[in-house]
Structure 1
């Protein structure tokens, strides 16, 4: 008898359970681009509104760096969820320790190599761009300040993945809201109050990232205390077990490539926007925050799927695990679709009011209004890809995640050049949307592979 035949028919994941995992994760995910929107608002109210473009250029470097190393959060989340499903507390803690050690080392390396990284990055960002020398200089100032928070930000990413896998999305939300609230207060003080422009945004972000690390560490310790105590179930010898390290490296390499290409594509989108001048670059940067906000707000159901799929795959009873997995996929997709439709309706009805909150009257807002339709339809465009990402991360199917992004990127780069010629910035947004759709289609085709795992 196969696992599928032995599955108890009544085992399922309730909407309530998915919602309890999803809504705190949605809040946590959405506050990051919300912070970007606050940066835009603060700079728009200051005497240096075109520093919005400078922050866009500087921030894209951190998107590239942090998203590239986002494999740390994903691998920690997937492996921890499976350890929790298998009731292996020792491995759950070892996964956290491995992740934080790797993250800290990478963060320190970024700080030590900041000069060559900055030189290369701004040389590339300035190539073929119409951004002014002043904008590029302000972007470099932003980079030089914020880079010092890299070790803290990356270590926090690992802790976020670990908390998610343990079902503590409420702690994830609390830490994220704390970081964002602190950053908003500092933004207002440094940018609007003191007039520091891009340097003020960077300083506020640096302080918030360091403080956020300590807040996240507190929540990790609280979780450990509830699962056997802070000092128990630690076996340092298992941190470096050859088989576990080999599996971790294999997953991390695939997700590293996937995330590097994802971050590169976002960077390419921002850089190509610079070809249309400072105003379009600033407008794209502001709209990108809304694009990310809607996508990541919907991502809460993907994080729920990540947790539930990982725990189902780790379950010792494969029949039960399969039933939970199938129910989790169905329930999370249904809630994600409902959320996407709600966000579309919101932006369609209140889009002009949202833009008015972000920027004052002027050329930047007028340009944003021209391209706002792409943000309105974005929830449906990104929903399926984000949702499938969560399922594949929980299943630690890193090869499929990598291959889907490779395929999407191979199409996106030439499409952006081809469509931007006759259609300008609209063509760039169209290519960006196609990028997300191709990723979703590829992962959808490969989704049945995960189900087969329960039958082996």
Structure 2
């Protein structure tokens, strides 16, 4: 993240693209008020929460079709979510590169970063489509523990839903460059529009139209198509040149290497956990799917503080204000801890209300009751971890975060998940591994922020 030259500060002026204002130099050396944590976190929260919120509704709709359909969604949805999370650097890397260009007064260059990220998103998305069309059967059978109705349902869903991969990645790139030029409202409108279409279509296609699980996949792709079209239209309105620059594409890939490795190990851990749950039985897999979707949703809610922290810490260190960076770390830690405690209390209060919204199968509900205590218990820990992740990302300390996340997954999450089967620990073993994973990360990030090395970490634009 770059800062204005010494003696100059930025004020808001109208943007050339007709969206929200960008920053410009203000006369008289007056510093505009710096936004607070909530002012940055709330718009990010809407965008972050839209997709998992739709997936929660989707899970509830499919859960009423029975445990086979719910298990199929868990298998197919887990594979597609793995691919999307692996390529999430399209959003965070593009944000940083576009912000640097926009901060230097080069809005056209910032938009160009969005164009190149969009081309990269299309290329990677098409690769995902081809891979899933070729490997949907073997992958779903592997994850479901062999051929059977759950594997078949997962394959059927995945072949259709995977067609939306390029659209989903284009939206990630679009979110990136628009955040970079400090336009927060348009991404909210675009993502909400697509999610609303999916929310309306999903129950209609699944039940009245009689498409079942296939209807869920069709609704998913339709909503993604609308969101992607809106992001592409935003680039067109900027008068962007659609020339492909191979060098820029390669550079964006290099920027994402730390995140890519980190995400690969993390998503592998979640896939292994899902495989262990599948082998524990259809009811265990269904309960795992319900709890995992709630976990992902709540993680993204808490991650809104990380995005706010990333921006505020980057600005503070770029402006030579390490004291402000430390103050931001304390504020977002308090917000993360407080929100995590509130979420934990709500989950415990609603433990007899929420699971039946997803399924009425007694066996699934019994398994969900076991997982619920883990899901609620580690929320305060997760709130602090995600907030401090954002602090270290804003400081450019991504290499440390990569190492810590991979080590915690290899030491805590993966071993306990793999041992859950042989030791007959079931879902309790899998979710003990996830709890240990979060606890190990908490210790590591607290120790890092307590010191000074993160204040002088090399600047990076990846997450």
TM-score band, normalised by shorter chain: 0.7 to 0.9
Partner of 2:116: 98
Cα distance, 1:79 vs. partner?
A: 2.8
CA drift of 1:235 comes to: 11
Counterpart contact for 1:82–1:312, Cα < 8 Å: no
1:432 and 2:434 matched: yes
Structure-2 change in CA distance of 1:235 and 1:369 (3 Å): closer
Match of 2:75 among 54, 57, 68: 57
8 A Cα contact 2:314 2:394, kept in partner = yes
Corresponding residue SS for 1:360: coil
Name the CA distance, whole Å, in 2 between partners of 1:377 and 1:69. 30
Shift of 1:22: 0.8
Q: Does 1:413 align with 2:417?
A: no
> Measured at CA, do residues 78 and 310 of structure 1 come closer, stay the same or move farther in structure 2, by a change above 3 Å?
farther
Q: Tell me if structure 1 keeps the 8 A contact 2:420–2:430.
A: yes
| 2:159 corresponds to 1:140 | no
Mapped contact 1:84–1:311 kept (Cα < 8 A): no
Greater displacement, 50-59 / 374-383: 374-383
Structure 1 position 304 matched with structure 2 position 308: yes
Report if the CA contact (8 A) 1:25-1:172 is conserved.
Answer: no
Relative contact order, higher structure (CA 8 A, sep 6+): 1
Residues in 1 aligned to 2:243 and 2:395: alpha-carbon distance in whole angstroms:
26
**How far does residue 282 in structure 1 lie from its aligned partner after superposition?**
0.5
Deviation at 1:80, TM superposition (A): 2.9
In structure 2, the residue matched to 1:201 is: 216
**Contact 2:205/2:215 (<8 A) preserved:** yes
Of residues 258, 264, 275, the one that matches 1:254 is 258
Match of 1:231 among 221, 239, 250: 239
CA, structure 1 residues 262+162, in 2 after alignment: closer, same or farther (shift >3 Å)? farther
- Residues 16-165 of structure 1 mapped to structure 2, 5 A cutoff: 17-46=36-65, 48-126=66-144, 129=145, 133-165=148-180
Distance in 2 (CA, whole Å) between partners of 1:408 and 1:441 is 10
In the other structure, the counterpart of 1:328 is 328
Aligned residue for 1:212? 227
Q: Which runs of 5+ in 1 are unaligned?
A: 1-5
Say if 2:111 and 2:235, in contact at 8 Å, map to a contact too: no
TM-score (structure 2 length as normaliser): 0.83
Greater mean alpha carbon deviation, residues 416-425 or residues 255-264 = 416-425
Aligned length: 430
Q: Counting helix residues as a fraction of each chain, which structure ranks higher?
A: 1
Instruction: Give the SS at the match of 1:155.
Output: helix
Partner of 2:10: none
| CA apart distance, 1:368 | 1.2
Q: TM-score under structure 1 normalisation? A: 0.84
What SS is found at the alignment partner of 2:211?
coil
Give the CA deviation at 1:254: 1.7
Report how far residue 25 of structure 1 moved: 1.5
Please name the residue that 1:265 is paired with: 269
Kindly state the Cα deviation for residue 26 of structure 1 after the two structures are TM-superposed.
1.6
Partners of 2:271 and 2:128 in 1: CA distance: 18
Helix, strand or coil at the partner of 2:328: helix
Residue deviations 1:362-403 (CA, integer Å, cap 9, x gap): 322232123211121232232233223333444454422321
Q: Structure 2: how far apart are the matches of 1:361 and 1:387?
A: 37
CA contact (8 A) 1:45 1:192 kept: no
Deviation of 1:107 after TM superposition, in Å, equals 0.9
Aligned residues of 2:344 and 2:379 also touching (Cα < 8 A): yes
The Cα shift of 1:49 comes to 4.3
Compared with structure 1, are the counterparts of its residues 79 and 326 closer, same or farther at alpha carbon in structure 2 (3 Å cutoff)? farther
Q: Which moved more, 1:415-424 or 1:94-103?
A: 415-424
Once superposed, what is the RMSD of the aligned Cα atoms?
3.1
Cα offsets for 1:399-452 (capped at 9, x unmatched): 223212221221121222235515321111000111222233334444443311
SS at 1:178's partner residue?
helix
2:201 aligned to which of 180, 186, 194 = 186
- Cα distance in 2 for partners of 1:293, 1:185 equals 20
Q: Which runs of 5+ in 2 are unaligned?
A: 1-5, 8-29
Counterpart CA distance in 1 for 2:220 and 2:386 is 26
2:141 touches 2:151 (CA, 8 Å); kept in 1? no
Pair 209,125 (structure 1): closer, same or farther in 2 beyond 3 Å: same
1:451 aligns to 2:455 (yes or no) = yes
Q: Distance in 2 between matches of 1:400 and 1:367?
A: 36
CA distance in 1, matches of 2:108, 2:316: 18
